Amino acid sequence: MGLREFVIRRVLQLIVTFWAFFTILFVLFRMMPGDPTSMFILDGMTPEQREQRIAELGLDQPLYVQYVEYARQLLTGDFGQSFIYRDPVMDIIVVRFMNTIVLMATALFFAYVIGITFGALMGWWRDSKFERGGIVVALIARSSPEFWVGIVLLSVFVYWLGWFPSSGMRTTGGELGGGFIARYGSVDFLRHLFLPALTGAIVYLATPTLLMRSTMLDVLNADFIEIKKAEGLPERTVLYKHAARNSILPVVTVAAIATGAAMGGSVVIETVFNWPGMGREMVRAVNNNDYPVAMAAFFLMGSVVIIMNFVADLAYVYLDPRVEYE
């Protein structure tokens, strides 16, 4: 099978995966007990008002009708209207999704840049104190829950040293909204970003570090490294150009998958730092039976996982010509 067929087949798989994912989401949410009117009942909604609201939301329709309607909306790029906010889901989640992406992309960027560098050096200097210490540090980081790391950072940098704000994305009281640069370009924003991003970076650091180290060890045992050394190339060149570059492949694959996983981790970090992102919105939507928002949130986050897996597959094929298309 050639590259072309492989890609086509992979794209078809992608479509089927999306369909299955969407269907499971739909079924799961409709199986959840309660409906969106629940949260208003104790505030004085009468039974008649409740019936009326349920009819307005189309929840009195048979499930298959709701399913077809939701699929139709999704295909036209419309996530529907929030049951609780009564606003288009798109308006609610676009900004949240961006906030989450900016946070997690920063965290992952640092986790991978630092992780790959340290992992490569640990492999290069095997059996050194540096390597042994690095492994211990990485394992501790990997075993630490996100909320714990977040709370430790809060205690030190906010409550003790007072260097950073404790929560939110910007200092309150300023102008709200604004374009991309206004939102994410200010010093104030970076100060708010630092601790949550650091939390993510610490938690995600271990995987690339350890993986890079172990593949480095494999590559360094390979004959061609000896040859390169024998050719009299400088150590740095051998390390970076030959050993590290060849070791990076599995890390790239894992990075793509980790991006997806990090979307889930964002829920915890956003809660600890009150970050106005998708994770928090998702929790709210699930608690309030706000199906359209919850499904859109899960759908987007799940899509990142599915697409990143797809990208990982393609990247692997592209980066390593030895991979067979099967």
Q: Which own/partner pairs from 126-130 qualify as long-range (CB within 8 Å, at least 24 positions apart)?
A: 126/217, 126/220
Instruction: Indicate whether 167 belongs to the interface with other proteins (CB under 8 A).
Output: yes
> Please, what is the minimum distance in Å from the beta carbon of residue 52 to other proteins?
6
Closest-CA residue to 118 (of 219, 205, 19): 205
> Please, what is the minimum distance in Å from the beta carbon of residue 130 to other proteins?
36
Closest-CA residue to 85 (of 271, 279, 292, 287): 292
Q: Which residues pair with 88 in a beta bridge?
A: 81
Instruction: Indicate whether 45 belongs to the interface with other proteins (CB under 8 A).
Output: yes
- Could you say which residues in the range 126-145 bind other proteins, by CB under 8 A? none
The letter for the amino acid at 218 is D
The CA angle 149-196-269, to the nearest 5 degrees, is 70
HEC letters along 85-117 = CCCEHHHHHHHHHHHHHHHHHHHHHHHHHHHHH
> Please, what is the minimum distance in Å from the beta carbon of residue 40 to other proteins?
5
The piece of 5-13, 69-77, 174-182, 313-321 that touches other proteins (CB under 8 A) is 174-182
Number of CB atoms found within 10 A of residue 325's CB: 13
> Please, what is the minimum distance in Å from the beta carbon of residue 111 to other proteins?
23
Size of the site for other proteins (CB under 8 A): 52
Are 268 and 260 contacting, i.e. CB atoms less than 8 angstroms apart?
no
Among 198, 206, 252, 270, binds other proteins (CB under 8 A): 270
Instruction: Indicate whether 158 belongs to the interface with other proteins (CB under 8 A).
Output: yes
Number of CB atoms found within 10 A of residue 294's CB: 25
> Please, what is the minimum distance in Å from the beta carbon of residue 168 to other proteins?
7
User: How many Å apart are CA 110 and CA 205, to the nearest integer?
Assistant: 8
Instruction: Indicate whether 179 belongs to the interface with other proteins (CB under 8 A).
Output: no
> Please, what is the minimum distance in Å from the beta carbon of residue 64 to other proteins?
22
Residues 184-223 as x/- pattern, contact with other proteins by CB under 8 A: ----------------------------------------
Instruction: Indicate whether 176 belongs to the interface with other proteins (CB under 8 A).
Output: yes
Binding site for other proteins (CB under 8 A): 32-35, 37-43, 45-47, 49-50, 52-53, 84-86, 92, 95-96, 154, 158-159, 162, 165-170, 172-173, 175-177, 270-274, 276, 280-281, 283-284, 287-289
